[in-house]
Amino acid sequence: MSNQTSASAPAVTHRLSTLDKWLPAWIGLAMVTGLLLGQFVPAVSELLGRMEIGGISVPIGLGLLVMMYPVLAKVRYDKVAAVTGDRRLLVSSLVLNWLAGPALMFALAWLFLPDLPDFRTGLIIVGLARCIAMVVIWNDLACGDREATAVLVAINSVFQVVMFSVLGWFYLTVLPGWLGLDTQGMDVSMGQIALNVLVFLGVPLLAGFASRFLGEARRGREWYEEKFLPVIGPWALYGLLFTIVLLFALQGDAIIANPLDVARIALPLLVYFGLMWFAGLLLGHRLGLGYARSTTLAFTAAGNNFELAIAVAIGTFGASSGQALAGVVGPLIEVPVLVGLVYVSLWAARRWFHTDPYVGLQTAEVVTR
Q: Please check whether residue 235 is in contact with residue 19, taking contact to mean a CB–CB distance below 8 angstroms.
A: no
pLDDT beyond 60 at 185: no
Measured CA to CA, the distance from residue 135 to residue 153 in angstroms comes to 8
pLDDT beyond 60 at 11: no
pLDDT beyond 60 at 10: no
Measured CA to CA, the distance from residue 139 to residue 148 in angstroms comes to 10
Of 350 and 49, which is predicted with more confidence? 350
pLDDT beyond 70 at 326: yes
Of 292, 14, 347, nearest to 149 by C-alpha is 292
pLDDT score at 280: 97
State phi, psi for 130 to the nearest 5 degrees.
Answer: -80, 150
Mean pLDDT of the chain: 82
Helix (H, G, I), strand (E, B) or coil at 304: strand
Of 33 and 136, which is predicted with more confidence? 33
Of 152, 140, 51, nearest to 95 by C-alpha is 152
Q: Please check whether residue 228 is in contact with residue 20, taking contact to mean a CB–CB distance below 8 angstroms.
A: no
Of 147 and 193, which is predicted with more confidence? 147
Q: What is the largest CA-CA distance in the chain?
A: 61
Percentage of the chain exceeding pLDDT 70: 85
pLDDT beyond 80 at 294: yes
pLDDT score at 163: 84
Measured CA to CA, the distance from residue 63 to residue 239 in angstroms comes to 5
Q: Show the beta-strand stretches assigned E in the chain.
A: 52-53, 56-57
pLDDT beyond 60 at 251: yes
Of 247, 134, 128, nearest to 197 by C-alpha is 128
pLDDT beyond 60 at 29: yes
Measured CA to CA, the distance from residue 115 to residue 98 in angstroms comes to 26
pLDDT score at 366: 36
pLDDT score at 247: 80
Of 43 and 101, which is predicted with more confidence? 101
State phi, psi for 131 to the nearest 5 degrees.
Answer: -70, 130
pLDDT beyond 80 at 1: no
Measured CA to CA, the distance from residue 57 to residue 181 in angstroms comes to 32
Q: Please check whether residue 323 is in contact with residue 316, taking contact to mean a CB–CB distance below 8 angstroms.
A: yes
Angle at 238 between CA 68 and CA 133, to 5 degrees: 35
**How many other CB atoms sit within 10 Å of the CB of residue 223?**
13
Name the band, by pLDDT with cuts 50, 70 and 90, for residue 197. confident
Measured CA to CA, the distance from residue 134 to residue 331 in angstroms comes to 10
Q: Please check whether residue 235 is in contact with residue 347, taking contact to mean a CB–CB distance below 8 angstroms.
A: no
The mean pLDDT of 137-141, rounded to a whole number, is 80
Give 69-88 pLDDT, tens digit per residue. Answer: 887 888 777 776 777 788 99
The mean pLDDT of 266-274, rounded to a whole number, is 96
pLDDT beyond 50 at 350: yes
Give 164-184 pLDDT, tens digit per residue. Answer: 888 988 998 889 989 888 765
Of 354 and 282, which is predicted with more confidence? 282
The mean pLDDT of 311-316, rounded to a whole number, is 80
Give 227-247 pLDDT, tens digit per residue. Answer: 999 999 888 888 888 988 888
pLDDT score at 261: 84
The mean pLDDT of 253-262, rounded to a whole number, is 78
What DSSP element (H or E) covers 152?
A: helix 146-169
pLDDT beyond 70 at 283: yes
46 CB-near residues (< 8 Å, 6+ apart): none
The CA-based dihedral angle spanning residues 30, 19, 301, 156, taken in that order and rounded to the nearest 10 degrees: 90
